[in-house]
Amino acid sequence: MTATRYQLITSTSLIALIFLCLAWEGWLAPLRPGGSWLILKAAFLLLPLFGVLRGKRYTYKWLSLFIQFYLLEGLTRATSDAGLSQLLAIGETALAGVVFFSAILYIRATRLAPEKKAAQQN
């Protein structure tokens, strides 16, 4: 697969994760009735969104580290919550996993070959 395809997969899954977090903490199964401050976790996902959409390799690098917080939260709540919240946590885990792996694959696909690096340094 090409870097463009990995960029599309990362972008789509990141946007889906933003909407999932908004819906989860806003309406579907918030921590407190009427919503909670945990809805702000969706706002933090907006930080890497524009860099991902533009294909900025540096953004993909730090996103691959940052997204692990969402993976961890999803795994924790998938094993501790029940009902709809548990299903949403499983969805968060799956989407965060897709973002993580597609970001890593994008980073690998856009890496310069050693010959090109040497030529670029000269």
Q: How far apart are CA 40 and CA 85, in angstroms?
A: 17
Confidence (pTM): 0.89
- pLDDT at res. 52: 97
Q: How far apart are CA 53 and CA 4, in angstroms?
A: 10
Closest by alpha carbon to 74, among 6, 22, 17?
17
Closest by alpha carbon to 77, among 35, 15, 29?
29
**Percent of the chain with pLDDT strictly greater than 90:** 79
Q: How far apart are CA 5 and CA 110, in angstroms?
A: 12
Residue 104 pLDDT > 90: yes
pLDDT tens-digit profile of 18-68?
Answer: 999 999 999 898 878 777 788 899 999 999 999 999 999 999 999 999 999
What is the CB-side half-sphere exposure of residue 59 using CA atoms within 13 A? Answer: 17
